Amino acid sequence: MSLLAALTSNPAPVKRAASMVAGVMARSLASATEKPPLAAHYPVTPGSLTAHLQLRSGETFTGGSFGAPVSTVGETVFTTSLVGYPESMTDPSYRGQLLVFTQPLIGNYGVPGRERDAFGLLRHFESEKIQCRGIIVGDYATKYSHWNAVESLSQWCEREGIPAITGVDTRALVHILRGQGSTLGSLNVGANKSESVEWVDPNDDNLVAQASTDTVRVFNPNGDVHVALIDCGVKYNIIRSLCAQGARVSLVPWNHNIVDELASFDGIFISNGPGSPAYCTETIEQLRQAYSVYQRPIFGICMGNQLMGLAAGINVYKLPFGNRGHNQPAVDLTNGKCVITSQNHGYALDDSTMPMGWDRFYVNANDGSNEGIRHVEKPFRSVQFHPEAKGGPLDTAHLFADFVNQVRAMKAAGVPAIADIVNNESVKQSATA
């Protein structure tokens, strides 16, 4: 049986994924318990402070501090990315999280400068600041070497107030996280670990509202098509990729009233973002109303995929430990082609049942989880992975060109943005009918 047939024959991919995850959890727990003790005390770099990572589940890892001498609490997650720590650390989707790098050596090429490109975006970072609350590495490189590096990873973390710990057995730590799922962690600097930790889950807050822009911002104002980009915590390379295709991009807040402005947009794009999509009720309602009358392309990435799914009536669930890295295989269900993708998400759509008019677009070849949806008639599509990468593979970068070219073609063909001529009141009535 082909890979595509195997992935499409089962009507309940979530159940299949749950079974696979259960096996991984059993093996991971066995591996983690075979190699005590879990708290390994490594030599601290001379002149540095001691740091401790404490998991809410009870495990403690001790190492050396190479970031800011502060303490923090966040959801402990891991990425399998081999390169791109400046991009990962500034990705708004990591907001509220303690980021574990499985790549053993981190910091060896330093941190680049803050040069901006032709669109006014930072060239080497995905936002204006570090978004994760702390980082955990196995071996921090105290000496860096790269032609465009201007400072060390330690200097960058210290300047931005981000704690960092080195000397952690990240393999044992990841076994724990894979076995029991992502958990809250406390990263503190000092000779002793914290005796009393206030465990505050960042996912209990609307992280999208924190990461989103407060005002409308326009990029590439001379573009020939006008795209509304709903900012749920957008990565700069998404903006750059749309602008590079010739689009004028209006970056709008996550809860912006796009329904009243549908006629002015040639296309709508929904970005990635941190935390749970359940808090974005205003965005979901705006999309639900847009579905009923908007006739031009709508596309979503990561959080955008989840919000488009929720607006269509699909449920969402939290993955045990998420998919984060640059090596996730996703299968295009329209042609059977498997692509390698960059991913960073902790939630997924439950596509075991699809609402009328919608179909699965991509599926994860590892765990069977949803990687995209599409409308069977209207030009509405979304993907869970990151076609803009930064860093990661570029197998699906063409999706930006596909989207903008479709927007351009429909505009040239005279397809109206909204069906017939409707006012805002009729939009609302059609959405609640």
What secondary structure does DSSP assign to 356-415, as a single string? Answer: TTEEEEEEETTT--EEEEEESSSSEEEESSBTT-SSS--TTTHHHHHHHHHHHHHHHTT-
The span from the CA of 219 to the CA of 148, in Å, is 26
Measured N-to-C along each axis, helices 281-293 and 424-432 cross at an angle, to the nearest 10 degrees, of: 100
Q: Is 195 exposed, middle or buried (0-12, 13-18, 19+ CB in 10 A)?
A: exposed
Place of tokens 């891991």: 78
Active site residue 425: no
Place of tokens 């990151």: 386
The residue from 132, 157, 243, 302 that is catalytic is 302
359-382 as b/e: b if 16+ CB within 10 A: ebbbbbbebbbbbbbbbeeebbbb
Place of tokens 């990962």: 88
**H or E segment to which residue 13 belongs:** helix 13-34
Catalogue the long-range contacts made by 22-25 (C-beta closer than 8 Å, 24 or more residues apart): 24/178, 24/179, 25/178, 25/179, 25/180, 25/181, 25/320
Active site residue 338: no
| Strand spans (E) along 3-96 | 50-55, 60-65, 72-79
| Strand spans (E) along 30-147 | 50-55, 60-65, 72-79, 97-101, 105-106, 111-112, 134-136, 139-140
| Strand spans (E) along 222-262 | 225-230, 247-252
Active site residue 386: yes
Six-digit token string for 228: 């509304």
Residue closest to 311 by CA, chosen among 275, 346, 270: 270
The residues with which 185 forms a beta bridge, in sequence order, are: 55, 74
For the beta carbon of residue 154, count every other beta carbon within 10 angstroms. Answer: 23
Task: Fill in the DSSP letter of residue 69.
Answer: S
Task: Fill in the DSSP letter of residue 17.
Answer: H
Residues marked as catalytic: 302, 386, 388
